[in-house]
Chain A
Amino acid sequence: DTAVSQTPKYLVTQMGNDKSIKCEQNLGHDTMYWYKQDSKKFLKIMFSYNNKELIINETVPNRFSPKSPDKAHLNLHINSLELGDSAVYFCASRQGVAGLNNEQFFGPGTRLTVL
């Protein structure tokens, strides 16, 4: 039933470690995203993929590397974690690529805490 799923839901790790967050959507959507929500609840896009191809890459440190093995999956790998990476990371998907009307469906979020 789950439309957009993420694992893990919580991730606590030490500074300097490398970690991954996985995302899967079963909606048959064309485009997938990663957003970051900071401690003040501000949501900002990080990346967008269409059918395994990177479309949007905001100004994100290159320690963050998205990987899309297929249209239904978009994973986020983070190297050398820093304290400032602590946030909630949301995966999202939508039908179509461009176009303004279709909404984005969000996963439940992954709360990353870097100690």
Chain B
Amino acid sequence: AQKVTQAQTEISVVEKEDVTLDCVYETRDTTYYLFWYKQPPSGELVFLIRRNSFDEQNEISGRYSWNFQKSTSSFNFTITASQVVDSAVYFCALPIIQGAQKLVFGQGTRLTINP
């Protein structure tokens, strides 16, 4: 099966706390990528990061970091020192090929950062 599971439906934290969003994937492919997208309250989908299956190094971009672990089929996303502007729905996605690339999305995690 080609599937992405984001078990946390909603998370609510107070500003400046660190928060981790979980993503667990299933794929039959030996080579694959994973993406994260952000959907702020305004509704658009914003690409955050891609990770390929050959690179297990953690990725850090400012307050954002991603932990990719093939052994547990997880690609978790951590926001350090969260801010109110981080409030959004976050999606983990697995691109697969079915004639063309298509994205298999997780259910999304709604993150609310309270002041």
Contacts and interface: CB of A to CB of B under 8 A. Distances in A.
B105 A44 contact: yes
Contact-size category for A: 20 to 34
Interface in B86-115: 89, 91, 95-103, 105, 107-108, 110
Interface stretch (A19-27, A62-70, A71-79, A91-99): A91-99
A112 B97 CA distance: 29
Contact of A103 (B31, B50, B107, B108): B50
Given A42-B107, A43-B105, A103 B45 contact: no
A107 to B, nearest CB: 8
A56 B99 contact: yes
A48 B99 contact: yes
Interface string A82-115: 0000001010101011111111111111010000
Interface of B: 31-33, 35, 37, 39, 43-45, 47, 50, 52, 89, 91, 95-103, 105, 107-108, 110
